[in-house]
Amino acid sequence: MAVRTPDPDPDDGFGFDDEPSANANPAWLTDIELEQARRRLPMLYVEAVPVITDGSGQVTSIGVLLRSTPLGEITRTLVSGRVRYGETVRDALFRHIENDLGPMAFPLLPVSPTPFAVAEYFPIPGVSAFHDDRQHAVSLVFVVPVTGTCEPRQDALEVTWFSPEEAASDTVSAEMEGGRGTLLRQALAHLGLLR
Amino acid sequence: MAVRTPDPDPDDGFGFDDEPSANANPAWLTDIELEQARRRLPMLYVEAVPVITDGSGQVTSIGVLLRSTPLGEITRTLVSGRVRYGETVRDALFRHIENDLGPMAFPLLPVSPTPFAVAEYFPIPGVSAFHDDRQHAVSLVFVVPVTGTCEPRQDALEVTWFSPEEAASDTVSAEMEGGRGTLLRQALAHLGLLR
Amino acid sequence: MAVRTPDPDPDDGFGFDDEPSANANPAWLTDIELEQARRRLPMLYVEAVPVITDGSGQVTSIGVLLRSTPLGEITRTLVSGRVRYGETVRDALFRHIENDLGPMAFPLLPVSPTPFAVAEYFPIPGVSAFHDDRQHAVSLVFVVPVTGTCEPRQDALEVTWFSPEEAASDTVSAEMEGGRGTLLRQALAHLGLLR
Amino acid sequence: MAVRTPDPDPDDGFGFDDEPSANANPAWLTDIELEQARRRLPMLYVEAVPVITDGSGQVTSIGVLLRSTPLGEITRTLVSGRVRYGETVRDALFRHIENDLGPMAFPLLPVSPTPFAVAEYFPIPGVSAFHDDRQHAVSLVFVVPVTGTCEPRQDALEVTWFSPEEAASDTVSAEMEGGRGTLLRQALAHLGLLR
């Protein structure tokens, strides 16, 4: 399991740190309890594919987070994080976009609460297209146009903006964590941009 | 059939005027040919439900056009118009929103080209929920957030902004042209706002 | 909290019994642990709206479960249940349909894994349209045609088949548990059957 | 433009023959009028991706029509055809599936009238992913499970059943008419089967 650098909100990012979080709501689980729950219950996640659009709403670029693992590997991922107890899906989506892209990203959240895709991550590879060795997570995935400036957090090196063609490529797909290259292609298909 | 006041782009609005349009592309039909085609072929339409959202993407108001018919009836309708030969659905949607809501509406067109609903209008009432005595029209319907100021065209008296509850009411529904109250409720359901 | 009659698979139904389940997978939570988790984590659910279709795929009837609570109240609900650790959404959907409608219902599960709606149930009423005083549950909701005979389980009195008009009525809506009348109307809108 | 062998319903297939159709409804266009309209109005189409599912609704095979053009070329296509004046989208879909796959295909038409994709075919290549040198056509595309035996019509050589992997391959994609390889991949993405 990845050991990650501390960050202000450790148990909500895609990295799932074990460091205790001091400001936790008493209703929330401690990190140890959360760790146990991850092995006993499916965890609910939200994920966002950030995009830039032209004036007519057509997507021109797709944003992918580049990050460096503690072992020095470079991987790519999407905006991703857990839904907290008592939190709406919409609020969780907004919180994780702000966490991962910074407060100046100015996302346009979708008007409909229905995701364009549901991604099922299993700890055992091969059950589905998606894999997360720490947990069984079920993720509601949304495409989210951003209109401001994205400033990724400390554990993300940058947001890379790809053209639809690049985002669909085998190269980018192979660099995506946990099978999320499939999710990227599903997003492109949903946008009418997969050839 | 409704006789309507002239407007700059007569054959594309929801009113389907018969006045000749001087600046028509030679590839397009004359108004007489168009009138004949309306009785022989299903016409492709786009419709938009304009909405206002809060900072988290949640819809707070739904825009409905109020207009006066030549007979002095007040009816309500949605942004609506025909897709021209050679025109993309996205361009048609943008054009009709600008036509009906003015150039300062600043619409955020959907990133996905798939409509949330397809409305089938038949000249004979009762075939479907939707009725148009002039034609068989099939309409791709989208929810479109607007961020600017809506200034409806001359044949529309105003854009009325309703709360989700009002928009779902029997009163508003009964005032909508051609069964579009159903479309309004479908939009609210899609937005998770129909109770 | 409702005390319910024992059934063969207590922790998976919509009733969330507290009786120990003897045949639990060791990876699963005990009922006490599950009860604690329900107050700390959002629970992932699936729900199904059973329907009967005619030869052209048009929905003619919508199935709603009628059940009697321990206090003697009659309420209505949908097919509903928790997704287990390690279980796919598709398998959970199939399992709960079989549990609630019997082995001879012969459901036609959807080809796409994306739900037509996501329902968010909160323990505090008013946060969303949906309410569950036992937990924060997020439910992926599907419309599922059934082609066989539905034999509801012991805690359900019957499956009532409503016409689309009846299913959308205020009467039926008011009888639905936890705000699921809204879900029924969302399903009807998705099916193009809400007027 | 392709000249095709006569068939019982020439103006409705994907081939758009010019032969007069004797049994036409007087409200419909003659073939000459239809030919003219194709160059002046967007034509409304439906398309179906036939699939075979396992007991849990998971798609295991995707059906593609193989046909021989008059020039002896072998191409692949989907079930496809025009919506007639006065015909519902659902009826048009059923009619074209029966026309292309035979009366024993036993299709399970979708319960929702909303297509998973809209394909825009333009006579000039490059405007969109889809091309049809005869017309501007806008197609509502559905995934349709079939449960019987498919017997393609005379102008189709066979229905080829591909695994999801094969259907997504560049080889199959390159053989699809008018850019429909893109549509096949969009269908696979919608089904959660595109890797």
Q: CB B85 to CB D40 under 8 A?
A: yes
Residue of C109, C84, C12 lying closest to A138 (CA atoms): C84
| Cβ atoms D166, A161 nearer than 8 A | no
Strands (E), chain D: 43-53, 59-68, 74-77, 79-82, 117-122, 130-131, 137-145, 156-162
The pLDDT tens digits for B103-118 are: 999 999 999 999 999 9
Q: Could you tell me the two tokens for C56?
A: 């052209």
Is the per-residue pLDDT at D137 higher than 50?
Answer: yes
DSSP type of residue D127? S
Q: What is the mean pLDDT of residues C72-82?
A: 93
Q: Give residue B26's pLDDT.
A: 53
* Cα dihedral B93/B98/B103/B106 (nearest 10): -40
The secondary structure of chain D in percent helix, strand, coil, rounded to multiples of 5, reads 25, 30, 50
Q: CB A88 to CB C120 under 8 A?
A: yes
Residue of C109, C91, C107, C117 lying closest to C191 (CA atoms): C117
Partner A contacted by D186 (CB < 8 A): yes
User: Which position has the token pair 């192979």?
Assistant: A174
Crossing angle of helices B180-190 and C180-190, in 10° steps, is 120
Q: Measure B39 CA to nearest chain A CA, in Å.
A: 32
DSSP type of residue B155? T
Which of C118, C194, C195 lies nearest to residue B189, judging by beta carbons? Answer: C194
The span from the CA of C37 to the CA of C134, in Å, is 11
Partner A contacted by B191 (CB < 8 A): yes
Q: What is the mean pLDDT of residues A132-139?
A: 96
* B53 CB burial (10 A radius; 0-12, 13-18, 19+): buried
Residue of C94, C183, C191 lying closest to C146 (CA atoms): C94
Residue type, C99: N
Q: Could you tell me the two tokens for A37?
A: 């729950």
Residue A53's beta-bridge partner residues?
A59
Which has the minimum average pLDDT: C2-6, C112-116, C139-143, D169-173? C2-6
* B141 CB burial (10 A radius; 0-12, 13-18, 19+): buried
Cβ–Cβ pairs < 8 A, chains A and C: 84
Is the per-residue pLDDT at C171 higher than 90?
Answer: yes
**A41 contacts in chain C (CB < 8 Å):** 29, 37, 41, 43-44, 85
Q: Measure D59 CA to nearest chain A CA, in Å.
A: 14
The pLDDT tens digits for D168-190 are: 999 999 999 999 999 999 999 99
* C174 CB burial (10 A radius; 0-12, 13-18, 19+): exposed
Give pLDDT tens digits along chain B (195 positions): 333 333 334 444 333 333 334 444 556 677 888 888 888 999 999 999 999 999 899 999 999 999 888 788 889 999 999 999 999 999 999 999 999 999 999 999 999 999 999 999 999 999 999 999 999 999 999 999 999 999 987 678 899 999 999 999 999 999 999 999 999 999 999 999 998
Residue B162's beta-bridge partner residues?
B62
Crossing angle of helices D180-190 and A180-190, in 10° steps, is 120
**In Å, what is the CA distance from D30 to each residue of C67, D27, D45, D82?**
59, 9, 18, 14
Q: Give residue B27's pLDDT.
A: 60
| Cβ atoms D159, D64 nearer than 8 A | yes
Q: Give residue D164's pLDDT.
A: 97
| Cβ atoms D176, D64 nearer than 8 A | yes
Q: Give residue A22's pLDDT.
A: 42
The pLDDT tens digits for A143-185 are: 999 999 999 876 778 999 999 999 999 999 999 999 999 999 9
Which of D51, D113, D114 lies nearest to residue C111, judging by beta carbons? Answer: D51
Partner D contacted by C57 (CB < 8 A): yes
Residue of A nearest to D182 (CA): A195
**B127 contacts in chain D (CB < 8 Å):** 86, 88
Which of B114, B120, B122 lies nearest to residue D116, judging by beta carbons? Answer: B114
User: Which position has the token pair 């050839």?
Assistant: A195
* B71 CB burial (10 A radius; 0-12, 13-18, 19+): exposed
Is the per-residue pLDDT at C119 higher than 90?
Answer: yes
Partner D contacted by B117 (CB < 8 A): yes
More confident residue, A109 or A37: A109
Q: Give residue A157's pLDDT.
A: 83
For D67, residues 6+ apart whose C-beta sits below 8 A from its C-beta are D74, D75, D76, D77, D155, D156, D157
Q: Give residue D17's pLDDT.
A: 35
Partner D contacted by C173 (CB < 8 A): no
Partner A contacted by D139 (CB < 8 A): no
Q: What is the mean pLDDT of residues D57-66?
A: 97
pLDDT > 70: percent of chain A: 85
Q: What is the mean pLDDT of residues A111-130?
A: 96
Which of D118, D182, D192 lies nearest to residue A194, judging by beta carbons? Answer: D182
* C3 CB burial (10 A radius; 0-12, 13-18, 19+): exposed
Residue of B184, B73, B169 lying closest to B130 (CA atoms): B184
Which of B39, B86, B89 lies nearest to residue D118, judging by beta carbons? Answer: B89
| Cβ atoms D158, D152 nearer than 8 A | yes
* D49 CB burial (10 A radius; 0-12, 13-18, 19+): buried
Partner B contacted by C131 (CB < 8 A): no
| Cβ atoms A68, A157 nearer than 8 A | yes
Which of D41, D89, D113 lies nearest to residue B37, judging by beta carbons? Answer: D41
Partner C contacted by A46 (CB < 8 A): no
Q: What is the 3-class SS of A62-101, one letter each residue?
A: EEEEEEECCCCCEEEECEEEECCCCCCHHHHHHHHHHHHH
Partner D contacted by C109 (CB < 8 A): yes
CATH of B31-190, one of 3.10.20.30, 1.10.1490.10, 3.90.79.10, 1.10.3210.10: 3.90.79.10
For A149, residues 6+ apart whose C-beta sits below 8 A from its C-beta are A102, A104, A105
The span from the CA of C68 to the CA of C66, in Å, is 7
Partner B contacted by C125 (CB < 8 A): no
* B108 CB burial (10 A radius; 0-12, 13-18, 19+): middle
Q: Could you tell me the two tokens for C147?
A: 């082609």
Q: Give residue C17's pLDDT.
A: 35
For D66, residues 6+ apart whose C-beta sits below 8 A from its C-beta are D74, D75, D76, D156, D157, D158, D159, D160
The span from the CA of C99 to the CA of C53, in Å, is 22
The pLDDT tens digits for C15-68 are: 333 333 444 455 667 788 888 888 899 999 999 999 999 989 999 999 999 988
Q: Give residue B153's pLDDT.
A: 78
Is the per-residue pLDDT at C75 higher than 70?
Answer: yes
Q: Could you tell me the two tokens for B37?
A: 């085609």
Q: CB A189 to CB D192 under 8 A?
A: no
Q: CB A194 to CB D189 under 8 A?
A: yes
The span from the CA of C62 to the CA of C72, in Å, is 25
Q: What is the mean pLDDT of residues C71-90?
A: 94
Partner D contacted by A125 (CB < 8 A): no
The pLDDT tens digits for A13-70 are: 333 333 334 444 556 677 888 888 888 999 999 999 999 999 899 999 999 999 888 7
Partner D contacted by C140 (CB < 8 A): no
Q: Measure D101 CA to nearest chain A CA, in Å.
A: 26
Q: Give residue A2's pLDDT.
A: 36
Q: Say whether C160 sits in a helix, a strand or coil.
A: strand
Partner A contacted by D169 (CB < 8 A): no
**D89 contacts in chain B (CB < 8 Å):** 118, 120, 138
| Cβ atoms D42, B46 nearer than 8 A | no
